[in-house]
Amino acid sequence: MTLDDAIAALRAGIEPGRAEGMAAYHKQTREVLGIANPFLNDLARDWRRALTVPERVTLADALWRTDIFEARIVAAKLLTQARIKDDEAVWRLIASWVQDFDSWAIADHVCDAGGRRLVADPSRIDQVEGWSRSDIMWIRRAALVMTLPWTKQNHPTARDLEIRDRVLGWAAACADDRDWFIQKAVAWWLRDLSKHDAPRVRAFLDANGARMKPFAHKEAAKYLA
């Protein structure tokens, strides 16, 4: 499949009058076509079935480079899959996109794809830890959002718990960060973790909660009894 074929397939899903509202909601200056998420889901599913992993990587890279809002989202969806054999090229591409983040919607779709690659090879956490110390807010945020799978295990292994504590350390370092997106990401991590590991969240909030913004503290404690 060529990039032109892919863009033509994307444009077939344009809903007249939708682009303006999406651009305003997502605060986009890049081109927004006006395509609903279910259409993008179906398109990405069909492409995942039809293309080999190397072909998907090539197409995803080309779609990302167009800088079209929906093209970047579908590029991430194209690489969102739990099991991918020989996934190093997939991970490298996803990791390269992090430096381009400037939109929560695009970032979250990429982080969903990246989180699956981290679960597949947790040693990649070493690279992600460097992001947690970046001067760029979107990159710091990616370190938290991409590691969300470690908030969800009901029966974590010893290694999972080690990673969980490691990311909580990054979150503690972000507790003083006044940026809304960082505070929201810390709260998101803690809130999701509290459903499976309430003691760790309580300990975190006891130690760091006073340094968080009130809305983030409230969100983090939402499910604590």
CATH number for the domain including 194? 1.25.40.290
Residue 218 included in any domain: yes
- What is the structure's pLDDT at 109? 98
Residue 120 included in any domain: no
- What is the structure's pLDDT at 225? 77
Look at residues 71, 66, 69, 119 and name the one whose alpha carbon lies nearest to residue 91: 119
**How far are the Cα atoms of 13, 71, 144, 207, 211 from residue 76, in angstroms, in the given order?**
17, 9, 18, 36, 34
CA distance 140 to 182: 8
What does the block give as tokens for 92?
A: 């490298």
> Consecutive sets of 10 residues in the chain, 225 residues long: mean pLDDT of each?
97 97 96 98 97 98 98 98 96 98 98 98 98 97 98 96 98 96 98 98 98 98 93
Residue 41 included in any domain: no
Domain count, the chain: 1
- What three-state secondary structure class fits 202? helix
Residue 12 included in any domain: no
Boundaries of domain holding 156: 148-225
Residue 190 included in any domain: yes
Q: What is the pTM of this model?
A: 0.96
Enumerate the H helices of the chain as residue ranges.
3-11, 18-25, 37-50, 53-65, 69-78, 88-97, 104-120, 125-131, 137-145, 158-174, 180-194, 198-208, 214-220
Residue 195 included in any domain: yes
- What is the structure's pLDDT at 220? 98
Residue 215 included in any domain: yes
Residue the block writes with tokens 């990791």: 95
What does the block give as tokens for 74?
A: 């579908």
Residue 202 included in any domain: yes
- What is the structure's pLDDT at 14? 98
